[in-house]
Amino acid sequence: MILIDMHVHSRFSDGRYTPQQLAAAAKKRGLALLALTDHDTTSGLPVFMEACEREGVRGLCGIELSAAAPYTLHILGYRITPGAGNLEKRLEDIRRKRSERNARIFEKLNKLGIPVRIEEAEALTNGEVLARPHIAQLLVDKGYAFSIGDAFIKYLDRGAKAYVSRERIEPEECIALIREAGGVAVLAHPAQCRLDDAGLEELVARLKSYGLWGIEAVYGANSPETTFRHLALAQRFGLYATAGSDFHGTGDHSADIGMAVSEDFLPWARLGVR
């Protein structure tokens, strides 16, 4: 068995640690592969790959895109080229609209009698992308929530008092952008779609018709039964299985990185890593 992790986040999106710290943690844990998959940004990938090379860790460029659907639908991209034209233009548009969304969230919070400012949340990001976890942390720091989870339930989750929806990319465009950037597309954490077996099969069939390459079958929050079902689903549709923890940095930042898989789990050549 080996340890790999194809789903971790850094401060460049909503993770707690820098790409350099993630690479160091991967070395400490003895990972055979680490992929940085920040939400809707490739900004951390150059320093991440440099850190992986310095630490002697096999690194892989990745991203996680939020796709438009009436349920949670995230598409991971691997082996992408940072700076690829169409992808970067679309990501820039997403970031602009996220900034507009953040401003509307603060407007709602203020109308609820919570006198917090967007600048206070930005101070928690270390200059990186402002995301809802940063706003949640600010609400905790100011005493308006007991925990980040409580802040989401009260204010930031879908249907909560200060929730603001944001524009998402259609699934076929997500996959097309990843492929145009030289990458392969993978359905992230299928269980989070909250579909029954028939619905999930229908989704996978549709995504495969767009060019889906794999399914994140081995996932940090999965039960053994869920992992088995998703491995079988990948095999049924002729897709590759991947493994990731979806690490954001709660607890000790090295303890939770890494998923145990067999040495022949991944098609290394297809991923362009050695």
Could you tell me if residue 253 is inside a domain?
yes
Q: Among 96-100, 172-176, 216-220, whose mean pLDDT is lowest?
A: 96-100
- 246's enclosing H/E stretch is none
Could you tell me if residue 194 is inside a domain?
yes
What does the DSSP 8-state code read for residue 16? S
pLDDT tens readout for residues 149-197: 899 999 998 889 999 987 788 999 999 999 999 999 999 999 999 999 9
Are 156 and 135 spatial neighbours (Cβ–Cβ below 8 Å)?
yes
Are 76 and 181 spatial neighbours (Cβ–Cβ below 8 Å)?
no
Asked whether the predicted pLDDT for residue 252 surpasses 60, the reply is no
Determine the Cα–Cα distance for residues 161 and 61; give it in Å rounded to an integer: 36
pLDDT band at 274 (very low <50, low <70, confident <90, very high): low
CATH number at residue 55: 3.20.20.140
Could you tell me if residue 14 is inside a domain?
yes
Total-model pTM: 0.87
Tell me the pLDDT of the chain averaged across its residues. Answer: 91
pLDDT band at 254 (very low <50, low <70, confident <90, very high): very low
Within 13 Å and on the Cβ side, how many CA atoms surround 71? 12
Could you tell me if residue 152 is inside a domain?
no
Domain interval for residue 207 = 2-89+169-271
Are 183 and 80 spatial neighbours (Cβ–Cβ below 8 Å)?
yes
Asked whether the predicted pLDDT for residue 251 surpasses 90, the reply is no
The average pLDDT across 51-69 equals: 95
Q: How many domains does the chain have?
A: 1
Asked whether the predicted pLDDT for residue 77 surpasses 50, the reply is yes
Could you tell me if residue 248 is inside a domain?
yes
Could you tell me if residue 140 is inside a domain?
no
